[in-house]
Amino acid sequence: MLTKSKKYTFTFVTIKLFTFVIANLNHKMTTKEYLTFKQKKISGRYITLKNIKPLINNLPEIFKVIELGKSFLGQSIYKIKIGTGKKRILIWSQMHGNETTGTKAIFDLCNYLNSKEGQSTILKACTIVIVPMLNPDGAMKFTRVNAQDIDLNRDAVALKAPESKLLHDLLYNFKPNYCFNLHDQRPIFSVGKANNPATISFLAPSVNEARDLTDGRKETMRIIVAMYLSLKKHIPNQIGRYTDEFYPKATGDNFQKAGFNTILIEAGHYKGDYFREKTRKYNFLALLSGVNAIYSSNNFDYTSYFNIPNNETNYYDTIYKNVCLNGQKKVIGVFLKPIFKNNSVKFIPNIKILENTTTYNADNTEYKEFNFSSIDKLNTFLQNAHKK
């Protein structure tokens, strides 16, 4: 069971522990323990090949590192292999260059896999291949697309980008039993209509427009259920289910269609966590519980997947309830959008006038009255009020 806010008092010191229960195992991980696995040399939202290459070069010998190939601009794309078990797992991150939370979680996972417990359990049962940064060109410019302006997550069929071809060839050469496709989602996503951000969202991709429940989708859902049950002890009501609309050109949909069980993890907003360091922890725990579920004997019911609330797009950083604009009463929603400026990530307010205000939620609600004679003055005020 999860023990919350339990205090253990020693001489002059009080330590607050949060007990994390990993699905299918008796192992319990405290926040203090997580910090021993956290890779502290990378943080924030802007992560490039320059940031992770020293980490790759300094991995212990149990990790086998090779250059998988080159990006469109000639940057190295690496493959990291570890473990000797029969269960084959493929994990990749930063398919979109500006989605970096999964990359941080991957290096946290590598530290865990190098631990005594990781080596004695997971690595005997699984062989894991990791591509920590599929799109280094996009990462360098903090863009979703690669240097050819191609969205790699919509290039699974055409394979116009060299990065897409590398992942495709790796898939068919390695033939994984399971794949983890790591992404970041916008902060506007909430868990259903509740007043909670979708900190982590899961998806078992569809294989056709009918969204048929194939055996592969059911197995993917089963693993997601294990991940959900583990995570909801830590972030209850902050886990969502991403839309399973079929995208004919998407990577996850096509991998699933080809018979490779593919789990999508979307890292999202946690209150006040704009650089996604708290979300990173839950991304790591999701990965770890998913891997544990793959090799454990516990059989989770895939139908519970449909009990995970759907994502909704109704969450904001701040809602202003009493804004008078040109003499008319308005409710304004603001969420902070990351942009790349001067080689760093800044956050600018994205502003929306809300009509049906009962369906929207936020980190903060401002009831103070504000009066503006023009939309430009409102924008100026909000830009200054939400500098990050």
Residue type, 215: D
Residue type, 381: F
269: left (phi over 0), alpha (psi -120 to 50) or beta: beta
Task: List the one residue out of 23, 200, 22, 170 whose CA is nearest residue 101.
Answer: 200
Which superfamily does CATH assign the domain made up of 6-312 to?
Zn peptidases (3.40.630.10)
Cα gap 303→160, rounded to integer Å: 37
Structure confidence at residue 299 (pLDDT): 85
Cα gap 41→52, rounded to integer Å: 9
pLDDT tens readout for residues 269-315: 999 999 999 999 999 999 999 999 999 877 899 999 999 999 999 89
Residue type, 59: L
Ordered by start, the domain boundaries in the chain are 6-312, 314-385
Taking the model in full, what pTM does it have? 0.91
pLDDT tens readout for residues 313-354: 989 999 999 999 888 899 999 989 999 999 999 999 989 999
Cα gap 365→318, rounded to integer Å: 6
